[in-house]
Homo-oligomer: A and B are copies of this chain.
């Protein structure tokens, strides 16, 4: 089965790039929340944003932007918006199931509902505000169009055909009506983590000024990264066997690397690292 050593690209098994991109997003969000919201509002917002389950989608957005030649700050608002819509969905997830939250302060269902409802528009606001001030109308038109396109991408990925449908699928899975386990995990992961990562890859490429082919390559790359992340997370809660996991992750890495082939080999390492972190490797070595 394909393993780390079979990869044709130099990959550090370190989450350095991911951590650094995440730190930039965190700083951007901390500033934005603090400036606009008093403590009573900002505390649950901050908590529900930063305690949401980990996702690599926002970091992927920044790294995709850099890969196509953009600078990280062009994508930091979109990365923040991705984090916010993900946090909004997570805040509402607790309302769907009957399991009470056990981690951190419990704000109660009303505050979780309302704060979640506030996080999504906040994400679109940050993104719409991120349009840089260009005096040249052609540059300005181009940059506004990119921001509008990113808004459409994130709206679709977080909307009723995206994350909302994924959450609906997941309820079905939890209810046990999902049929065959591994096939179902794959389908759910493709929809849930796959689509938000696809959106992140595409948004990063759009905002960094990538061409249409680059945008589509990074959109497909996102699907594979998201699926790897989702499948590994599903394994953590006991879904899918070890051999299936290894085979599947190996296949997805090959597919992912294939999408990165068109890009400058030197610049590929940061984004490729999202497919292979020490955390993954540790988990891959775990027994069934």
CB within 8 Å of B: which residues of A? 36-37, 41, 45, 85, 88-89, 92, 95-96, 110, 113-122, 124-125, 128-129, 131, 137-138, 140-141, 144-145, 147-149, 151-152, 154-156, 158-162, 164-165, 167-168, 171
Contacts and interface: CB of A to CB of B under 8 A. Distances in A.
A96 B113 CA distance: 8
Given A141-B144, A161-B36, A92 B110 contact: no
Contacts of A140: 137, 141, 145
14 contacts: A37-B161, A41-B160, A88-B117, A95-B113, A114-B160, A114-B164, A115-B160, A117-B164, A121-B124, A121-B159, A128-B155, A140-B145, A141-B141, A144-B145
Q: Report copies per complex.
A: 2
B137 A152 contact: no
A160 B149 CA distance: 24
Among A37, A129, A140, A141, the most chain B Cβ lie within 10 Å of the Cβ of A141
A114 B113 CA distance: 11
B131 A145 contact: yes
B171 A124 contact: no
Main secondary structure of the interface of A (DSSP, over half): helix
A156 B121 contact: yes
Nearest to A45: B160
Contacts of A131: 145, 148
Contact of A152 (B119, B129, B156, B162): B129
Interface centre among A41, A114, A160 (most CB of B within 10 A): A160
B124 A151 contact: yes
9 closest A-B pairs by CB: A118-B160, A144-B144, A125-B155, A121-B159, A141-B141, A121-B155, A128-B151, A140-B141, A137-B138
Given A95-B113, A117-B88, A159 B45 contact: no
Contacts of A159: 118, 121-122, 125
Contact of A124 (B115, B145, B155): B155
A148 B144 contact: yes
A135 to B, nearest CB: 10
A125 to B, nearest CB: 4
Nearest to A119: B160
Nearest to A163: B117
Given A89-B117, A137-B137, A154-B121, A161 B128 contact: no
Contacts of A147: 148
Given A89-B117, A137-B137, A148-B148, 15 more contacts: A85-B121, A92-B113, A96-B113, A114-B167, A116-B117, A118-B160, A120-B121, A121-B154, A121-B155, A121-B162, A124-B151, A125-B151, A125-B156, A137-B141, A141-B144
